[in-house]
Amino acid sequence: MREKNATVFWNGLVKENPTFVLMLGMCPTLAVTTSAINGLGMGLTTTAVLVLSNVIIALLRNIIPNRVRIPAFIVIVASFVTMAELLLEGFIPSLYAALGIYIPLIVVNCIILGRAEAFASKNGILPSFFDGLGMGLGFTVALTAIGIVRELLGAGELFGVPVINNVLKMISSAIGRSEPVEYVPVSIFVLAPGAFFVLAALTALQNRVKRKMQEKGLNADKIQSGCNFDCTSCEDSGCAHRFVDVNAPSGSVANVKSSSKDVSP
């Protein structure tokens, strides 16, 4: 039992990392990673909401009727997001101000409803807890890593400490220059276009890894390479049928998934 939970946790953290492998929840990933501390704060907030909502949904999975499960999940998630928002406003106002509108937008983060739909509604409380923790921490690690890259290039800082200038100052004094060399930050990396460029580099890397894996005959189906950002073709992330009953009879809104493929081939 304990081993199984460890597998579920590891799966979320590394093998199916929501950002680097599944490419879920890209809006907050791009928006809040202007600095490492913002990425860390956003990741931990999302983790808290994900763990709690996973546990509650796993608890209620036999009570919630199948037809109204998505609205029910949304209410549960939105309640925890509201709690997280109020707690942050009260206790960490600086982070609350930095994350702004992206805290309430955790409700529409693909990862949370995706895990509710794909895991918590089918599994027990303890595995759901570890799934939420693994996925959440995987998201946190990814956001912090992207935040570190963007902050280091765009501001020359790391968690607010001007590391690059400190290092340059040390080198300058070591070689005996009176005027230390100043690092000129590539400020585009903390602005909006930089977010797209960093993500482009990331998806290109992912494409490469996927191709190498396929050449070696490994199974790389899990790697979404950008999830194609095509919510209609997203089968199991919970993105596409967030408010739509997938198992509904034909003629209902669920048919959008198949019919829209004809429109955007």
Closest approach of Cβ 227 to other proteins, in Å? 8
Does the footprint of other proteins cover residue 228 (CB under 8 A)? yes
Rounded Cα gap, residues 251 and 214, in angstroms: 39
Q: Rounded to the nearest 10 degrees, what angle do helices 2-10 and 125-155 cross at?
A: 30
Rounded Cα gap, residues 168 and 166, in angstroms: 5
Token readout for 79 is: 């309640």
Nearer to other proteins, 142 or 164 (CB): 142
Phi, psi of 161 (to 5 degrees): -100, 125
Closest approach of Cβ 43 to other proteins, in Å? 16
Q: Of the candidates 243, 247, 249, 250, which one interacts with other proteins according to CB under 8 A?
A: 243
Tell me, rounded to whole angstroms, the distance of Cα 4 from its chain centroid: 23
Does the footprint of other proteins cover residue 108 (CB under 8 A)? yes
Nearer to other proteins, 94 or 187 (CB): 187
Token readout for 215 is: 């050449």
Closest approach of Cβ 167 to other proteins, in Å? 28
Does the footprint of other proteins cover residue 60 (CB under 8 A)? no
Closest approach of Cβ 212 to other proteins, in Å? 10
Nearer to other proteins, 107 or 163 (CB): 107
CA-based nearest residue to 40, from 134, 195, 144, 112: 144
Tell me, rounded to whole angstroms, the distance of Cα 177 from its chain centroid: 45
Does the footprint of other proteins cover residue 67 (CB under 8 A)? no
Beta bridge partners of 103: none
Does the footprint of other proteins cover residue 14 (CB under 8 A)? no
Among positions 76-105, residues that touch other proteins (CB under 8 A) are 78-79, 81-82, 85-86, 100-101, 104-105
Among positions 168-197, residues that touch other proteins (CB under 8 A) are 188, 191-197
C-beta separation of 58 from 128 below 8 A = yes
Instruction: From residue 180, give the alpha-carbon distance in Å to each of 168, 169, 232.
Output: 7, 5, 54
Q: Of the candidates 229, 235, 246, 248, which one interacts with other proteins according to CB under 8 A?
A: 229
Does the footprint of other proteins cover residue 232 (CB under 8 A)? yes
Rounded Cα gap, residues 28 and 24, in angstroms: 10
Q: In 39-156, where do the E strands start and end?
A: none
Length of the chain: 265
Closest approach of Cβ 209 to other proteins, in Å? 9
What does the binding site for other proteins look like in residue numbers (CB under 8 A)?
Answer: 26-27, 30-31, 71, 74-75, 78-79, 81-82, 85-86, 100-101, 104-105, 107-108, 110, 188, 191-197, 199-201, 203-205, 207-208, 211, 225-226, 228-232, 239-240, 242-244, 253, 256, 259-260, 263-265
